[in-house]
Amino acid sequence: MKAPEMLARIRENGAIPRHIAIIMDGNGRWARERNLPRPLGHRSGMKSVREVVEGAIEAGVEVLSLFAFSQENWQRPVTEIQALMSLLEEYIAREADELATQGVRVQVLGDLARLTPAAASAAATLIERTAHNDRLVLNLFISYGSRAEIVRAAQLLAEDVRAGRLAPADIDEERMAERLYTAGVPDPDLLIRTSGEQRISNFLLWQVAYAELYMSPVLWPNFRKHELFAAILDFQQRDRRFGRVTA
């Protein structure tokens, strides 16, 4: 089935995931299979980012979260890290106009203090430029780790308690969620991981508690609208009970 036919079927089925999160995996293997340097795999993956953003808009998704660079990725070779930071700058320079025109509001989430000054400046500019858009929220997770995010949220709650703004007994799931990077957006309904791996890899551990999981065998540089629509169609066949039983 071709992508336009899949999109038509998605619209007929009706149940569109409000929030899709994607672990973009497989750039390195894609490059290795072609005897290319790893950075070229990352560069090729940029095409897939554009495809899934366009596909999400066409399908009516409200929030798209992409895991671009983890805290653990800082342990990679310096040359690869430099290439990734340069690609971030390149992506923003290349796609900023299109994202703004398409009505995409971009958020860059994670420990941004570790970014290079040029990458941090480019990210801040893109966030400001798209701040008033409301067609799609695009969360780019960079220098991100979910355990660190949860620890940070706990520290913020502890500071509120120490300052007398909050009583320990008032700490609940809602107040914890308000201290996460994703405060203000719905939790993911669908988590996609590419490349065939079966791991969550420290991504949105709190937020994906009830997300449907979809593991695609496709390497990220080969992931296109067709694969995104296949994941949404699969999601539409799921019976989401959230711990309850079906009537």
User: What's the chain look like in SS3?
Assistant: CCHHHHHHHHHHHCCCCCEEEEECCCHHHHHHHCCCCHHHHHHHHHHHHHHHHHHHHHHCCCEEEEEEEEHHHHHCCHHHHHHHHHHHHHHHHHHHHHHHHCCEEEEEECCHHHCCHHHHHHHHHHHHHCCCCCCEEEEEEEEECHHHHHHHHHHHHHHHHHCCCCCHHHCCHHHHHHCCCCCCCCCCCEEEECCCCCCCCCCCCCCCCCCEEEECCCCHHHCCHHHHHHHHHHHCCCCCCCCCCCC
**Is 20 in contact with 63 (CB distance < 8 Å)?**
yes
Task: Label the pairing between strands 190-193 and 19-23.
Answer: parallel
Q: Which of 35, 73, 111, 222 is catalytic?
A: 73
Is 27 assigned a catalytic role? Answer: no
**List 25, 27, 139, 189, catalytic entry:** 25
Let me know if 134 is a catalytic residue: no
- Known catalytic residues are 25, 73
